[in-house]
């Protein structure tokens, strides 16, 4: 169990305690701190042995002494599993895999087996970066379960730090291919719209005024009348960015049951989205690495079907 004690400064006075603590303790989220507050793990210290629990809406005062305890996380054993892996690039520091549609990237409640991390632990024999902890060893970025394609994995901590820096500076080349509803008017375009947690449906993301900056560049690859085959290049990497942005401009992805609002006439297992191209500067050798993940069979079959119906 970890224990923390903070004294509130004059310039911090008047802030909600959950927000203030989220600024003081990195990387704890505000929602997790609200959970600790609800569990009675956050106190005002009024003197030796005199601690009073506080609620999330308490507004801190200058010289308040805030005490909180954080329980140790209960982490399940992550077992190595001999699962199929399609490797696009590999050396002593990095691995680029072509993740299949339907595979969860890292373990989470309800998905402690069959994930990409389970497969990586087996394949790499434990040689993975430890920066993201036992649940996400080697994982520096991720793609959704029902999105396929190129994903970069770090074997060493030095590589992890270097790739993280490139991600932060938007220096990774990440190009996705998708099929969307409707006939996209412009052959090329850029969507600049901030993304944050949906105000009512907390499991979804949305374009909101106070969201984080999000920029997606797109170009049309082929038109099929009521559908358009597009390439999307990420300048930023927000959660569900392409899915949210394409829906925002009126062209949701086929098969997207979360953000799509149109009935899909095709039998699909999720959004038609594939991480095709991944390019980066190798953080150890400075070599420019360019990888491309071939389209999955279902994607190719869908393109052929749409071509035949034109």
Positions marked active-site: 144
Say if CB 3 and CB 69 are below 8 A apart: yes
Distance, CA of 279 to CA of 50 (rounded, Å) = 57
Distance, CA of 272 to CA of 142 (rounded, Å) = 17
Helix (H) or strand (E) holding 31, with range, is: helix 30-38
Pairing status of strand 273-281 against strand 148-154 = parallel
Say if CB 115 and CB 121 are below 8 A apart: no
Residues 6 or more apart whose Cβ sits within 8 Å of residue 171:
280, 281
Q: Where are the beta strands (DSSP E) in the chain?
A: 2-7, 42-47, 50-53, 65-70, 87-90, 94-99, 148-154, 173-181, 188-192, 195-197, 205-207, 215-223, 227-234, 273-281, 288-292
SS3 (DSSP) at 96: strand
Q: What's the per-residue H, E or C state across 221-265?
A: EEECCCEEEEEEEECCCCCCHHHHHHHHCCCCECCCCCCCCCCCC
What residues form DSSP beta bridges with 278? 174, 291
Distance, CA of 210 to CA of 195 (rounded, Å) = 8
Distance, CA of 271 to CA of 101 (rounded, Å) = 9
Say if CB 171 and CB 280 are below 8 A apart: yes
Distance, CA of 238 to CA of 191 (rounded, Å) = 13
């Amino acid at each position: 169990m970890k224990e923390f004690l903070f004294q509130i400064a004059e310039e911090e006075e008047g802030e909600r305690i959950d927000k203030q603590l989220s600024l003081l303790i990195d990387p704890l989220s505000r929602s997790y701190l609200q959970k600790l507050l609800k569990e009675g793990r956050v106190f005002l210290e009024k003197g030796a042995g005199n601690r009073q629990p506080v609620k999330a809406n308490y507004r801190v005062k200058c010289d308040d002494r805030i005490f909180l305890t954080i329980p140790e996380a209960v982490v399940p054993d992550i077992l190595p599993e001999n699962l199929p892996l399609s490797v696009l690039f590999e050396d002593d520091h990095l691995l680029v895999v072509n993740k299949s549609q339907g595979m969860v990237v890292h373990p989470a409640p309800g998905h402690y087996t069959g994930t990409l991390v389970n497969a990586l632990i087996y394949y790499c024999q434990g040689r993975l970066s430890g920066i993201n902890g036992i649940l996400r060893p080697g994982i520096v970025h991720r793609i959704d379960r029902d999105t396929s394609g190129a994903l970069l994995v770090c074997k060493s901590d030095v590589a992890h730090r270097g790739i993280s820096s490139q991600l932060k500076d938007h220096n990774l080349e990440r190009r996705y291919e998708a099929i969307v509803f409707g006939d996209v008017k412009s052959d090329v375009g850029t969507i600049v719209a901030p993304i944050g947690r949906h105000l009512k449906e907390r499991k979804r993301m949305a374009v909101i005024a106070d969201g984080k900056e999000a920029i997606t560049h797109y170009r049309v690859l082929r038109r099929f009348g009521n559908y358009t085959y597009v390439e999307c290049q990420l300048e930023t990497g927000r959660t569900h960015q392409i899915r949210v942005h394409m829906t925002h401009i009126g062209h949701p992805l086929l098969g997207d049951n979360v953000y799509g609002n149109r009935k899909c006439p095709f039998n699909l297992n999720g959004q038609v989205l594939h991480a095709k191209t991944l390019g980066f500067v190798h953080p150890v050798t400075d070599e420019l690495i360019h990888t491309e993940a071939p389209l999955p069979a279902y994607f190719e079959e869908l393109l052929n079907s749409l071509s035949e119906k034109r």
